[in-house]
Amino acid sequence: MKFRLVTVVAAAAALSLAAAGSAAAQPLRHKPAPPPQVTGVKLQSAMLPPADFGAGYTFLESYNSGRKLQSTRSKDHVPRMSCGTFEGGVFVSDFGDTAGAVVRYSNPNWRSAYPSTILLGDEYVLQFATTASATTFYNQARAKYAACVSFNTTSGFGPATVNTASVAKTTVAGHQAFLVTQGVTFARFLQTPFYLLYLYVVAGTNVYDLSDASGTNDEPSVKLMTTVIHRVQALYPHH
């Protein structure tokens, strides 16, 4: 913002009248405290149990960034990653996030109910040092999904082709969000249809993701995402 010259002169004159002691009388200006941070172990403690996602669902695996905050230096850059690499794994402490955690669950009985079932899913949170950093990653992730219209990859079922049907903006509990819907075809797996869905949310310094693999285009639960966000926010002193 530019100030008019007359305003600056008037302010200088007022200060000169105070003369000695003016510096001591001025209030100290403090930098705002940085956003609170917790470790990956803490973040994982806030994740929902697999049973919350469906009856009979079981724990598959989990991972977190540990008991210390991580460096804000990025090891990977989303715009430079291939579609298969970005979507092929869950990354913790790779994008400049200071902490992260993921829990993967599965449905061991999916074959008996396919396609009306979810095979497996992830709940995922990355914590950044600032809201700006979190928003940058969120925007990069959305742009990457939108750019990955169709690509080939490998899976537990062999070679696969992923086709992105939509990347739709939405909101969750008042926070920015987007929902990705993808169809997958397998060269050696004849049962169809098969879908991958991702719900991303940016809330404060954190980016959240719920995702699932299903046979009926089953969108991740907004209610459960809201619960995850509230559970993580409760870890911080200001909540």
Residue 55 has pLDDT above 90, yes or no: no
- Tell me the three-class secondary structure of 36-59, residue by residue: CCCCHHHHHHCCCCHHHHCCCCEE
CA-based nearest residue to 94, from 106, 81, 104, 110: 81
Whole-structure pTM value: 0.84
CA-based nearest residue to 146, from 79, 217, 221: 79
**Residue 157 contacts residue 181 (beta carbons within 8 Å):** no
Residue 46 has pLDDT above 90, yes or no: yes
The residues facing 199 across adjacent strands are 179, 210
In three-state secondary structure terms, 129 is coil
CA-based nearest residue to 73, from 154, 150, 133: 133
Residue 1 has pLDDT above 70, yes or no: no
For 176-200, what is the mean pLDDT? Answer: 87
The dihedrals phi and psi of 127, each to the nearest 5 degrees, come to -105, 130
In three-state secondary structure terms, 152 is strand
**pLDDT tens-digit map of 78-131:** 999 999 999 988 889 999 999 999 999 999 988 888 888 899 999 999 999 999
Element (H, E) at 160: strand 158-172
**CATH class of the structural domain 38-233:** alpha beta
| Least trusted range by pLDDT, from 66-75, 104-113, 196-205 | 104-113
Domain ranges of the chain: 38-233
Decide which of 114 and 166 is more confident.
166
The DSSP line for 181-234 is EEEEEESS------EEEEEEEEETTEEEEEEEEESS--PPPHHHHHHHHHHHHT
**Residue 201 contacts residue 172 (beta carbons within 8 Å):** yes
